[in-house]
Chains A and B, each alone.
Chain A
Amino acid sequence: MTKITCLLIFMAFNWSNAQDYRFGKVSEEELQEVSNPTDPEANATILYLSQKTYYDFTQSDGFVQITEVYQRIKIYNKDGFDWATEEIKLSDNGSKRETVSGLNAVTYTLVNGKIEETKLRKDGIFEEHNNKYWKTEKFTMPNIKEGCVIEFEYRVTSPYISIDDMNLQYTIPIKELDISVRIPEYFNFNKYVNPRATYIPKVNESTVSRTEEVRSKSRESNSTGFGNTVKTNFSSDKFNFKEYKTEIKLSNVPALKSENFVSNLNTYRTKLIWEYAFYKSPSGQITDYASNWDEVTKTIYDNSDFGSQLTQTNYFEDDIDALITGVTDDSQKLNLIYNFVKSKVKWNDYLGYTADSGVKKAYKEGVGNVGDINLMLTAMLRYAKINANPMLISTRSNDIPLFPATGAFNYVVAAVEVLNDVIILDATDKFATPNVLPVRAINWQGRIIRKAGSSTWFDLLPKDIVQENVSLLATINGDLSIDGKVRSQLTSFAAKNFRSEYQNFNAEEQLMAVEKDKGEIEVSNYEISDMEALNKPITYNYDYHLESGIEQIGDKLFLTPMLFFAPNENPFKQDKREYPVDFIYSFNDRYQVIMTIPDGYEVESMPSNSVVQFQGDAGEFKYIAKASGKSLQFLISINLNKSFILPGEYDNFKQFYQLMTEKQAEKVVLKKI
């Protein structure tokens, strides 16, 4: 008896201290809070987030997915007002419609020490039909003021079995998070937490049992002497099954902070990703969707929009025969076919590893999605007896495919396995070349799916070192202007970028582009070669007249040997980084400068020779200067062999860039004789 009392007292005590997270139980303390104690810069905080996902069973529809959401959000200041608007994206596709019900929302404010409630009314709720597939249910809360707390709850009913990714982190902190998912044993999911997130949650799993009732109806007809009678039997069966339960309870989830040089912040968000793996019917029969890599591969191959797209050849045979007739060299065939597909079928901006229109139609119409184009390319290469396979990729805007899941991918390219190497081809980009993919597709690793059903990872990090060679001639005139020539060569990604920037420029626009940010310069005789010859580097040269490249102080002249090629600033200004810096590819920039100084001057000082390194030879900067009479020569090279810099390496890397920037800005000093 005593024990029980103690326990009761303890519980009551505990209760009074803890925040009550039932709807409507907003406390004065919550309303009085002026900033988040663990993150004072936060404009708002999710005080409580609860999401329950489960499958209701109804006689008519079977299992229906229900998601109940409830949030309580504290808004500290005006910059946090955006959190008073909530948008729910819903599938609105034909008969498969998701619906929202039970929306209930209240704003709480503290007025003279009393809590005031303002309810969301119908006129604050809007339904936007985005297009024929989606709609968005939106609402914005009334009476929002600095310091207020809002609460909302709603329920989404979905005819789909698959579960959307669950965000466990937002750009504001979360005080308490409570997620629970219950899935009947028939639906089997793989789930994983985004491995690139910096905040890793604990996930609890358990199994519970559940009972549902199924009513069935049967009819009997009896022939008797009195004619036919029909009897309807109603029976009701109980069936028991297991449910897999996943629970995540978290306190003080830090905010997801944005940072420069991050292409997609979502890549680093803590979230739970669900992949529908297989269905097991009550009788034990299994329908696989994806569970391990072999299954994923098989599932994808068995998909008629994928596998069979690779085996159709009749539609192109004549054209390909004509194209490669007499050609025996494989690499020549490969290039011919690759260029043929690029010119024949244009990308319609839709992603996807499966064919949208189907390869045949895409071929005929000259338009297709990624799947159409690159599966067609793979099929043609195979037809030409080249060992080509599709490689599945997840684009930068998607996520990183680390786990066996069909949904992990949204892109496909053609991969040709040759001795110890793989050549990757993407025909969706006009300026892409073998192994030089559009940036969207360069994301971690791709999965090659071979004919026999085996599959393997392939690192997508470009191995080529992108070369940019510049030779700069400069003659300093008596009036301290400079005349000279530039000749430059760009390979691989640098050439690709150049081609796509310049593709639609007329002569005038070309000149404006090259003169940009080069000071008081006038460029003439600008010639660009091999704009169209994609397998060659871009080469360009021009003459220039630079009016003010030299600084005169007293009887001395100061100038930077690299002139307008010298960087003005170190782009890396942050002291610390949360996420990696991604250069996409390694590069080697070389500047060779030959400078002639004017009569009546001699060198007073030259920049010293120097070498700066980052992590051994991961990065190397070399600066060599030499003067002989009136001719000064400089050789400056920047090698970056590592294109992905981790936060832990950032500090050294920043210093490397700093030294490099300073050195490139160093001046030659000339003095009057």
Chain B
Amino acid sequence: MSRLVVASIGPASSVQDGGRFGAQRYGLTVSGAMDRLSLAAANTLVGNAPFAAAVEIGPFGATFTARDGAVRVAIAGAPRNADVAGKPVAMDTSLTLKDGETLALGFARGGAFSYLAIEGAIKGDLVFGSLAVNARAGLGSPYPRPLQAGDEFTIDAASGAPELRIELPKPVSGPIRVLLGPQDDEFDDANKALFLDSEWKISATSDRMGYRLEGPAIKHLHGHNIVSDGTVNGSIQVPGNGSPIALMMDRGTSGGYPKIATVITADVGRLAQTSAGTAFRFKAVSMVEAQDEARKFAQLIRSLPDRLRGCDTVELNIEALSDANVAGYAVSAVDAGTWQVMAEP
């Protein structure tokens, strides 16, 4: 057996998978990856099931060292500087760390969360079918808390399979799409318009439970207390102070503030990857469009194995180099202006 040791890691990093469904009726939070597509892409690269448990890495950097043998991993999600012994590593590819080698990841650029999948997947004790960490409820395995330096994962030795990259569709840009409701009738037309027409920013106090939105105050028609009812990933509730909160994966299963709108399934991961301070807008879509996008999103995740490409082609090398550039090693003048670089502390 090999080990992958967490040599260093920033806050808001934890083991996550597809989430813990089936017990929301008992108040059990679902948790799971903030960006399901990136989790699935990383897992697919190393031959795991799409929603197997992997390391969700928050906005700060992290380093991982292979011990007692080689470990095959893949990284996807928010782009970062990445290298092994100074040699750049591209996002959206697999790589094998030899015994003693360290993969170093920098700060997230243009996003918040990256996913490190390990061939054979992280093992642990399932609770309601999931290893996902929910620190507040003390749930998750092998560590029921955010990861710390010194934590380690025991895995089967690397298979020696050829390295792969994955061709993901061009990221969707534009507004975050929402369906109005379930309590949009708690707001008048002017306030619904204010919500849809304003520019918003994610507050720095956001976490896996909810993203606080900074922008104009949204006023309720009949006060801010409703009788608690169920929530979903992407519910946008408006508390008394008028600043909306988009509920994310560690949300409470019920909530007592009116929910003006709900982010569509296909865009929850995009919202999760919107870094603090970045301006964005919402756009209301129809149920037909939202469900059509949800089906396409599910289809995209199923299609990921068909999007794997060999790493030994010329095409790949160009891709890898270009990715390395994006990660900051040889920044081209053309690319430089287009990034949303998160403020480093």
A and B pair up? no
Residues of B with Cβ closer than 8 Å to A? none
Residues of A with Cβ closer than 8 Å to B? none
